[in-house]
Every structure is written in structure tokens, then in C-alpha cells.
Amino acid sequence: MTKLVPNLTAHWDEADSHTLAGYQRHGGYSALKKAFELGPDAVIGEVKESGLRGRGGAGFPTGMKWGFVPQGDGKPHYLVVNADESEPGACKDIPLMMANPHSLVEGVIIASYAIRANHAFIYIRGETPHPIRRVRQAVAAAYEAKLLGKNILGSGFDLDVVVHSGAGAYICGEETALLDSLEGRRGQPRLKPPFPAVAGLYASPTVVNNAETIASVPAIINNGAAWYKSFGTEKSPGIKLFAVSGDVKRPGIFEAPLGITMRELIDYAGGMVSDRPVKFFVPGGSSVPLLTPEHIDVPLTYEDMAAHGTMLGTGTPMVFDTSRSVTQAVVRWIEFYKHESCGKCTPCREGTYFMVDILKRLEKGKGEISDLDLLVDISAQISGRSFCALGDAAATPIPAALKYFREEFETKLVGAK
Amino acid sequence: MAINEQTRAELRELISRYPEPRSALLPMLHLVQSVDGYITQAGIDACAAEVGLTTAEVSAVASFYTMFKRYPVGKHHVGVCVNSMCAMKGGDAIWKRISTDLGVGHDETTTDGQITLERIECQAACTHAPVMTVNWEFMDDMDEQSATKLISDLKSGADVKSTRGPRVRTFKEVSRSIAGFDDGLVDEPATDAAMLAGLNAAKKAGN
Ligand SMILES: Cc1cc2nc3c(=O)[nH]c(=O)nc-3n(C[C@H](O)[C@H](O)[C@H](O)COP(=O)(O)O)c2cc1C
Ligand code: SF4
Ligand code: FES
């Protein structure tokens, strides 16, 4: 049985885990001192060596991303933390910021130092006032302790951090839409290239990283890349927050090495409610294809999920038991994408609208079996033809659900007539 | 209270936090919403004047984001998550029940101006499904009974506490916190069993 490794979550049971005193009692901000001793390039090297991959969904190697920022270009550099967590199923960054905001702030200082940024932003989903309070307080406490501002700990490094609130738009989690939003515009994606590392915020080199990614950095600097790599697999090293929701007895946040299986996570979560078997699960947010009980022992890694036609995504599995309707789950996800489509490009704006229309027709018993093929066809028209990955995400649930549960869709249709 | 010189000073304070003034626009809109209870023309005008944009430009931004409301919001904004996980675990039933009880639908406000009801999307709290929000503070693991009690407590003005956050205040007050002004509530407890599920399981397993 894979062991859980509480790291970011290790002290969440202490009443002051969110305060500077609570964080420093367990060695908080010692990684920062070490980072200043190492120097920026060695910090990037250590993060590269650790194999840390982005926890925002795509799994891009973090050290490599930092390495893309041109140095000595005379332009200001920016670090932007993506804490917009809004994908259905994803619920790890919000609790992290609530219970351990200083790990994020320390990570922000180290990452900014590494990429030579003197200005960082933490873009937090607007509908979450308590995490906003907690991160704001953590930043204020860090300023007071001279861990932010001018000449931090005598290093000569200056950093200002702004905590920013979004205003309710899932698309603002997409990194270029986030940058437009942070510039005070409608949150619509930008054409890539240029990538943010070259022309991001205010057209300057910018690193956008997920909140969990950045919060993972202090432990890597403190304990070394070798320690981090001792967990997980070669291609998916390290530990991460798995948020397990759904029909398990004790849903919640489980911090574990990559490569833990769904079966093990369900076990740690106390097993299934009423011991009903798993019908399907979604490993990492509604944007990744669902899996079935035959995949329950597949290691939750980037490479194993890809080998089974899905993705690790945000690593926040939703588990559904045999009492649940896969069609109902899919309808709500597609409605979500329709609601959140930014309207910039036609396949996504119109396609999500058509899909909801057809699904509603099916739910009312007014559809035809051929509508299922029509839905697959529309998904194919959206996928790969949209301006950003939201379109691809919207095109994902239907083909994935039909692959394993076509019969259920058909019976529902016939039954509804 | 209407937008006045103090609001304008606070808008300027928000602007001063950013390298580029326009970056403050979302927080500024939250702030004017906290004064008027929704995005009024006066709020748009004030933001446009302080940041140096046309009112059309500011309206175009405000209308993109669902948190910015075009009509007056009640004293309390109540959300019911109806995305897949919450819907199945009871969110649909909760919605039906309180929407029927209050006699209002999605994005509508009770005639006494007390409660605006909204069907909301996933709140990054699926481990706590089914989830409701009051003025965006978490109300986790709800059911029809607790939802009904919540509504009656809000209506009667009884004390209500978020299940993962502070005591519940009004929509306007919380909009001000979201805009980025301190309210002294940061230390009110937030960690719960679901957040500790893994830590407790690790301890139990001797990990
Ligand atoms: C529609 C959409 C929504 C997204 N939402 C988020 C989000 O809320 N948080 C996040 O970190 N990444 C999100 N992403 C991924 C980001 O675009 C980006 O890849 C990520 O922030 C990079 O950070 P990482 O390398 O640390 O993972 C989203 C992507 C898309 C297409
Ligand atoms: S794919 Fe959808 S969300 Fe992305 S740019 Fe096109 S319309 Fe907007
Ligand atoms: S589905 Fe309701 S919080 Fe995620």
C-alpha cells in the first residue's frame, strides 16, 4: 500500500497553521534563506532536477518553464500565481490557501527570486473570501517580518506581492485569459505564441504557475531534489494533493506520492458509501476523460493516465458509485462549459450551445438515437479547432462517456420516450 | 450610502497597489458593488473616472464577469452549487426546495429584498458536496433540512456561521472584503474533517 506523505498538509490540524508563527514553528521560511545562499540559477537547477511538474492540469515541467524567461533583457519580469481554481472536481488550491497560505508566499518569493521578478501577483478566484483573507494576511505578515519588500533578509532582492481577486469566470484560469483579466480586461485568451515567458503581463516575460506548484517549491529547496524524486515515478516525481470527492465515506484532501492508485485513495477515504461499487471516476477534473473500475489499480501518474486515454489533470478524482447516472453528470459538465465559454471563437461558443440543446432534448425524451452520433460529431468539430483548451475540454466528456456507457445513453433515450 | 469621496479615495488606494492602474479594475468593481449592492451607473462612472477609461470600456469588462450584478442584490446572496457532483449528492433537491419555499428562481430576489438566489457552478469544494454559499462564504455538506434552516435564520436575522469561515455578514460587506479590504475575520476557523481526511488517515496508518 502506497504511503501517504503529509507535507503541505502536515500541520493543518493545528489551529494556527495559517499564521506566520504556525508556519515558522515548523521551519517555515528556512527554504528562503537557503535559496538566497544558492543563488537564482541554482534554484532553477534544483527545481529542474526535482522533476516538479505543474499542478494546474497540464503537467508542464516547472524548472523548464522558469528557464524560458530571458535573462538580462532589461525588462521587468513577473510571477503570476494561478489560484483561480474553478474546474469541476478541482478543490485542492482553495483548502491549501486556507490552511497553509505561507507555503504559497514562501514559494512565491523563491520563484520570483529565481526568475528575477520584483513583482508577483496571486490571482485568487473571487468567490472565495476566506482564502482571500488568509492569503492577504500571510502577505501582510511577510511584509511585516521583512520577508517581502526591499532587500529581503539582506539578500539585496526586492519583491512586492499583490493579492488579486477574480470575479467569477472559469476561463480566467486559462493562463493568457488570466493575464488579460489581471490587466483589467475581459478574460479572453490570447494567441500563443508568444508565450507568457516571453510576452506575458504588460507584454513582459511572465511565469504563470498553479498555486500548488509554487507551494511545493519550499520543501524541494529545503530537502533537495533527490528527496523529492524519491517519491513517485521517473516521469512523475514527487508528491501532490489529491482531493477525493464523491461516493466515498470520507471525502477530502490526501497528500500522496504520484503513482498512488484510485483503489488506495478510496481505501484511505474509508471505502465506498454503503459499500456500493465504483461505476466510474474522473481522475483530474471534468476536463479529462472518465475511467471505469477496470482502471482502479492504474497508478495515478501523468504517463499512466495518458496510456489509458485520459490525463492526471488537477489530480482531484471524483468517484461515482453504481447509483449514479453518467448521463446526468455529463449534461451538467457540458452546461458548465456552455456557461463558461468566453465566446471568442465559433466552435466552442456555438458547439457547446448545440450540445446542451441536444442533451436537453434527449433528457425530455424528444431525441433520436442518431443524436448520440451528432453529439460525437459536434465534439469532434470543437476539439482541436478551438482557440483555447476550454473548447477541447468541452469536447471531452461525451466521447469518453459514450466509450464506456453508450448503452446507458441509449436506454435512457428509449426509456424517456 | 452612496459612492462618495471616501469611496473614490479607496478606489485610488486599490489603483496604487498595481504597477498599471487598469489592473485594479476588478477589485474596484467589487468595491463599488459593496457600496451600491450591484454595479450601478454611478459605480461604472467612478471606476472609469479614476482609472482613465470610458464608461463603455468599464461596462464591457463588468458585463463579462458573473460576480458583477446588473440588478440590486438582496441583503444576502445565496448560491446553490448544481454542478454534477453537488447536484447528485443533493444539490438539485436543495435547489428545488428553497427555490419553491422562497418563491424565486435563478438570479431572482425575494420581494422583501432579503435574499437573492443563484444556481452556481462548482465552488472548488466538491469534497464538501453538496455545497451552498452565503455571500460566497462556504456552507458545506448541506441537505434540505439544513438549507431550510439556513434560509430561515438569514430571514430572521439570527447568527449564521460559515461551515469553513467566519460568521455570515451581508453581501455588501463581503464584497468589500473580496475587493481587498481587511475585515478582521481572517482568524475565524476554517479547517474541517474533509480537509484533515488525509492527515488523519496518514496518522492512523502510521505513515
Ligand atoms: C479553461 C482553463 C481553465 C484553467 N484553470 C486553471 C486554474 O484554475 N488553475 C490553474 O493553475 N491552471 C488552470 N489552467 C491551466 C493554466 O492555463 C496553466 O496551464 C497553469 O496555470 C500553469 O501552471 P502550472 O504549470 O503550475 O500547472 C486552466 C486552463 C484552461 C484551458
Ligand atoms: S475555446 Fe471557448 S473559451 Fe476558448 S477562446 Fe474559444 S470560445 Fe473562448
Ligand atoms: S460540484 Fe459543487 S463544489 Fe464542485
Amino acid letter, residue A333: W
Q: Give the closest residue to B139 by CA, choosing from B155, B157, B120, B156.
A: B120
- From chain B, pick out residues whose CB is under 8 angstroms from the CB of A83: none
B9 touches chain A (CB under 8 A): no
Q: Do B186 and A91 touch (CB under 8 A)?
A: no
CATH code: domain A18-224 is: 3.40.50.11540
Q: What is the dihedral of CA A233, A239, A244, A248, to 10 degrees?
A: 70
Task: Please state the ipTM of this predicted complex.
Answer: 0.98
Cα–Cα–Cα angle for A227, A229, A233, nearest 5°? 145
pLDDT reported for residue B25: 98
Look at residue A124 and give its three-state secondary structure: strand
Provide mean pLDDT across the span B56-81. Answer: 98
* pLDDT of B108 above 90: yes
How far, in Å, is the centroid of ligand 3 from the Cα of B65?
19
Provide mean pLDDT across the span A49-54. Answer: 98
Which of A28-37, A177-186, A306-315, A367-376 is predicted with the least confidence, judged by mean pLDDT? A367-376
Of all residues in chain A, the one with the smallest CA distance to B51 is A184
Look at residue A149 and give its three-state secondary structure: strand
Is-cis flag, bond preceding B130, omega within 30?
yes
Residue A282: which pLDDT band, with cuts at 50, 70 and 90? very high
Burial of A156 (0-12, 13-18, 19+ CB in 10 A): exposed
The backbone region for B83, taken as left when phi is positive above 0, alpha when psi lies in -120 to 50, beta otherwise, is beta
Q: Do A165 and B178 touch (CB under 8 A)?
A: yes
Q: How far off is chain A from B51, nearest CA to CA, in Å? A: 10
Provide mean pLDDT across the span B174-189. Answer: 97
Q: Do B185 and A133 touch (CB under 8 A)?
A: yes
* pLDDT of A415 above 70: no
pTM of the model: 0.98
C-alpha A166/C-alpha B68 separation (Å) is 11
The domain defined by A324-409 carries CATH number 3.90.120.10: no
- From chain A, pick out residues whose CB is under 8 angstroms from the CB of B161: none
* pLDDT of A416 above 60: no
**Test mutation, B16, B195, B200, chain A, max A CBs within 10 A:** B195
Residues A123-158: tens digit of each pLDDT: 999 999 999 999 999 999 999 999 999 999 999 999
pLDDT reported for residue B31: 98
- From chain A, pick out residues whose CB is under 8 angstroms from the CB of B87: 328, 332
Q: Do A252 and B190 touch (CB under 8 A)?
A: no
Handedness of CA A151, A154, A156, A161 (dihedral sign): negative
pLDDT reported for residue A361: 87
Q: Do A268 and B205 touch (CB under 8 A)?
A: yes
Domains of chain B, each with CATH number or no CATH: 5-64 (1.10.10), 76-169 (3.40.30.10)
What residue spans define the domains of chain A? 18-224, 230-319, 324-409
Mean pLDDT score of chain B, rounded to an integer? 97
What are A413's three cell numbers? 433515450
Cell numbers 471524483 correspond to A318
C-alpha A356/C-alpha A363 separation (Å) is 10
Are A18-224 and A230-319 in the same CATH fold?
no
pLDDT reported for residue A187: 98
C-alpha A57/C-alpha A54 separation (Å) is 7
Atom 6 in ligand 2: which residue has the minimum CA distance? A345
How far, in Å, is the centroid of ligand 3 from the Cα of A42?
40
pLDDT reported for residue A414: 65
Q: Do B64 and A170 touch (CB under 8 A)?
A: no
Q: Give the closest residue to A57 by CA, choosing from A305, A291, A332.
A: A305
Q: Give the closest residue to B186 by CA, choosing from A404, A203, A288, A16.
A: A16
Provide mean pLDDT across the span A114-130. Answer: 98
Helices (H), A299-396: 302-307, 326-340, 346-363, 370-382, 389-394
Atom 1 in ligand 2: which residue has the minimum CA distance? A391
CB B86 less than 6 A from any atom of ligand 3 = yes
User: Cβ(B61)–Cβ(A65) under 8 Å?
Assistant: no
- Most ligand 3 atoms within 8 A of CB, residue of B80, B118, B123 to mutate: B123
B65 touches chain A (CB under 8 A): yes
C-alpha A136/C-alpha A323 separation (Å) is 42
B180 touches chain A (CB under 8 A): yes
CATH code: domain A230-319 is: 3.10.20.600
Radius of gyration of chain B from its Cα atoms, rounded to whole angstroms? 19
Residues B87-99: tens digit of each pLDDT: 999 999 999 999 9
Residue A412: which pLDDT band, with cuts at 50, 70 and 90? confident
CB B83 less than 6 A from any atom of ligand 3 = yes
Is-cis flag, bond preceding A257, omega within 30?
no
pLDDT reported for residue A193: 95
Cell numbers 438570479 correspond to B107
C-alpha A268/C-alpha B200 separation (Å) is 9
Q: Do A253 and B127 touch (CB under 8 A)?
A: yes
CB A390 less than 6 A from any atom of ligand 1 = yes
pLDDT reported for residue A367: 84
Q: Do B122 and A89 touch (CB under 8 A)?
A: yes
How far, in Å, is the centroid of ligand 3 from the Cα of B197?
18
pLDDT reported for residue A67: 97
pLDDT reported for residue A102: 98
Q: Give the closest residue to A107 by CA, choosing from A122, A129, A92.
A: A122
Of B61, B182, B197, the CB nearest to A254: B197
C-alpha B4/C-alpha A165 separation (Å) is 23
Residue A365: which pLDDT band, with cuts at 50, 70 and 90? confident
Number of residues that make up chain B = 207
CB B87 less than 6 A from any atom of ligand 3 = no
Is-cis flag, bond preceding A194, omega within 30?
yes
Residues A323-350: tens digit of each pLDDT: 999 999 999 999 999 999 999 999 999 9
* pLDDT of A417 above 60: no
Residue ranges of B 97-136 with Cβ closer than 8 A to chain A: 120-129, 133, 135-136
pLDDT reported for residue A411: 84
Q: Which ligand is nearest to the CA of B87?
A: 3
Mean pLDDT score of chain A, rounded to an integer? 96
Q: How far off is chain A from B24, nearest CA to CA, in Å? A: 6
How far, in Å, is the centroid of ligand 1 from the Cα of A86?
10
B74 touches chain A (CB under 8 A): no
